[in-house]
Structure 1
Amino acid sequence: MNRQRHILHCDCNSFYASVEMQENPNLRGKRIAVCGSKEDRHGIVLTASYPAKHMGVKTGMAIWQAQQCCRDLIIVPPHYTEYMRYSGYVREILQDYSDQIEGFGLDESWVDVSGSTGLFGSPMTIAQEISDRVKRELGITVSIGVSNNKVTAKLGSDYKKPDAITRIEPDNYKEIVYPLPVQDLLYVGPATQKKLNSYAIRTIGQLAETDPKTLQRWFGKLGYTLSAFARGLDTSPVARQDHTATIKSVGNSGTTPRDLISDEDVWLMLLVMSESVAARMRELGMKCTVVEVSVRDCDLAGFVRQHKIDTPTNGALEIARVAFELFKSNYRWGKPLRGVGVRGAGLVPEDCAIQLGFFSNQEKREKLERIDKAVDTVRERYGYTCVQRARIYTDRGLGQINPKDDHTVHPVGFFNAG
């Protein structure tokens, strides 16, 4: 007999701004926006306080746009160490109620409390206690969704903000969820939303009532997933709290020091990012079987694409080449780009047995791997920039950054902006 699931989704309200106001009481109640550095081209709003949001300031806005909406806006630089510290504090509170906690960025977490109700009471009681403790112990607020699955729990935490708890179960699902805009559903990004809207599907209810076979024809396998999610069906588990859990991917992304206006610019940035991703995989003793590339243009529109590779790799050059081919196959120049990212997924141990293709050049691959590891050793001793690829020096503005240190960390809400 299957036990009924009780899932919470906890979302720290305006997290970066809330931490800044807690650390600096003079900012409390004021219109503030945490923004990246203008000089480093990260001059966009990462998050804003609720008084600023009420004036029209939105995540993802350029600083100058935000200041037009709110003349007395206070710009605050980000302090990521503090955000990570507070994120850890929130997680410590959640761990008192369950060992099944799955983070979603620094500011969001799913918690499976199915096995905790005998000790702590109903899911709503647990949610209220978590909310009260976060407010009392940390001075920030959370919105919590309570449901029987992860997707609907997240809809619940988004439904009412700030400092709220929303229960969404089968008995009230259609009443609450069906009128919501389709883009509120997990995995419905701008491109998917646009396509759904073109078929006159604008609400989650309309999506739920669309034939799954029709959605499959439009979106492939994703169509069935969207149909299930829209109908409140999700069986995915919440990851069990385990510091030795398998890492599934390694990635790096950031806002570029200047606009990217050519294939050559993109290749250089992908190479820089791939150096970081590959080095991290080697530190973990892993290789990737999937390479993913993401881009954002000057209007913050973009895409994510991935490709499964034949032979696992943790080589920077190989990862960069695959990412670049993905980019060229999917982007037509119209607007300058201001952000790129590379991710290695489908990780496997680097010493795992591999199936060699008839035409694979394993000897050359092994030689490049030895070179990469030698470079890692030198960089560890003398610093990242002591050894660089010659191509990096063709554009010091783009090439002379340390992607392992110098990139903007965005809250989850940033990627849902717009």
Structure 2
Amino acid sequence: MNNVSRHFDPFREPASGWILHCDADAFYASCHMAQRPELREQPVVVAGDVRTRHGIIVTANYRARQFGIETGMNLGQAWQLCPDIVAITPDKSLYRRYSEHLHHIFQQYTGIIEPLALDEAWLDMSNQMSFAENPALVAASLQAQVRERLGITISIGISVNKMLAKQVSDWNKPEGITVLRKDELPERLWPRPVTELFGCGPVTAQKMERLGIQTIGDLAQQPLSAILHQFGQHGLALYLRAKGDDYTPVINPRCTDRRSVSAEHTTAQDLSGIADILALFQQCSQEISARLLQLGLVGYRMGIKWRTTDFRLHSKQLSSSLPLQSTDSIYRLARQLWLHVAENRPVRLIGITVSLLELPSPQLRFWDE
């Protein structure tokens, strides 16, 4: 039975339309329970090395969570909490098969789908008239299709942009539906701890707490200049999410013909210090990573470019055997290229291009929302 968090008033529809974030509940465990219905009422965990009882738990069903069993816990510790747990070795092919079926159901509701992982995706429903009239009702229909056809459940967050939709899909699990309008942020989002903000890791959260920023509302009401000074571009992204101003589009990576993603920065003064130059590469890496994540793509070739004070433009390229998408992977290769170049003249422009873009191979996440 789905759980709708609030009554929806169709006369309060946002002009920008609605975005869904669909997230399967305890996905890996749910796939096994769909295959083996006798497990549904039992505490089930999916863990690495089941045979030796020393594996790490990658997901636990909701029954197991009642005993305090959590993702990331050692299997031996979990058995101490609940000797009756059923431990199952991960089955990648099974998860991929269910993921394909899940995304096929999504496609019956809209063609604008951005996969985020095997078990979750954003759906742009802005042009769906039936959805605008009653989003919760259509979301309940989607949940019913998944439950009846696959035997698993999904939770759905509905809001005016991607990040808010993802933020609230976790509020009402399992199989919940949560609708959040932007004018409800002060009442419903801002009182929550800043650690709940998507993208705010423990290190950032600890630094914010030292500055007196404990809730999402505390962050949203800070001066932007102070956030930029303390946290840079990452802080800006979190600040915009806290205010509900993150309007990146839902992009279906299969529909994009983009061949490369680039970022560059020109400085007002000559740069010669290695730390200053690498800081610009770091900033470019963050921007490219954010764009690749939006597109759901990875790259396999990196190029850097720089302009010296004689206005000459230089470049260097290198192929990568590993996929480039995270800030760290992009920056490491850019740094390696720059140190190899050993440019000793001052520069005025720094840029990075990631190319040979393609969809990533399906990878298992080692956590469940």
| Alignment TM-score > 0.5, same fold | yes
- Over aligned residue pairs, what C-alpha RMSD do you find? 3.5
Within the alignment, does 1:182 sit opposite 2:137 as a pair? no
Answer whether contact 1:288 1:313 (CA < 8 A) is retained. Answer: yes
Deviation at 1:217, TM superposition (A): 0.8
Relative to structure 1, the CA distance from residue 101 to residue 316 in structure 2 (aligned partners, 3 Å threshold; closer, same or farther) is closer
How many angstroms apart in 1 are the aligned matches of 2:140 and 2:44?
28
Deviation at 1:86, TM superposition (A): 0.9
Which amino acid is 1:223 matched to? G
Report sequence identity in percent: 34
Deviation at 1:243, TM superposition (A): 5.6
SS at match of 2:301: strand
1:49 aligned residue: 61
2:365 aligned residue: 410
Which amino acid is 2:318 matched to? T
2:128 aligned residue: 116
1:313 aligned residue: 318
> Can you list the C-alpha shifts for 1:343-377, whole angstroms capped at 9, x where unaligned?
xx953149xxxxxxxxxxxxxxxxxxxxxxxxxxx
SS at match of 1:58: coil
1:287 aligned residue: 301
Deviation at 1:409, TM superposition (A): 2.4
How many angstroms apart in 1 are the aligned matches of 2:355 and 2:179?
39
Answer whether contact 2:260 2:356 (CA < 8 A) is retained. Answer: no
Within the alignment, does 1:24 sit opposite 2:29 as a pair? no
Moved more, 6-15 or 70-79: 70-79
2:355 aligned residue: 348
Any residues of structure 2 matched to 1:338-417 within 5 Å, and which? Answer: 347-349=354-356, 409-411=364-366, 413=368
| Structure 2: gaps of 5 or more residues | 1-13, 262-297, 305-313, 337-351
Answer whether contact 2:99 2:119 (CA < 8 A) is retained. Answer: yes
How many angstroms apart in 2 are the aligned matches of 1:10 and 1:144?
5
Answer whether contact 2:53 2:75 (CA < 8 A) is retained. Answer: no
Deviation at 1:203, TM superposition (A): 1.5
- Among 85, 98, 104, the alignment partner of 1:92 is 104
Any residues of structure 2 matched to 1:153-172 within 5 Å, and which? Answer: 153-172=165-184
Q: TM-score, normalised by structure 1?
A: 0.62
How many angstroms apart in 2 are the aligned matches of 1:215 and 1:143?
32
Moved more, 17-26 or 167-176: 167-176
Deviation at 1:193, TM superposition (A): 1.5
How many angstroms apart in 1 are the aligned matches of 2:131 and 2:194?
37
Relative to structure 1, the CA distance from residue 134 to residue 120 in structure 2 (aligned partners, 3 Å threshold; closer, same or farther) is farther
How many angstroms apart in 2 are the aligned matches of 1:240 and 1:106?
15
Any residues of structure 2 matched to 1:138-157 within 5 Å, and which? Answer: 138-157=150-169
Which amino acid is 2:302 matched to? C
SS at match of 1:8: strand
Moved more, 200-209 or 46-55: 200-209
Deviation at 1:146, TM superposition (A): 0.5
Deviation at 1:20, TM superposition (A): 0.6
How many angstroms apart in 2 are the aligned matches of 1:127 and 1:149?
16
Which amino acid is 1:171 matched to? D
SS at match of 2:121: strand
Deviation at 1:232, TM superposition (A): 1.2
Within the alignment, does 1:197 sit opposite 2:152 as a pair? no
How many angstroms apart in 1 are the aligned matches of 2:331 and 2:19?
38
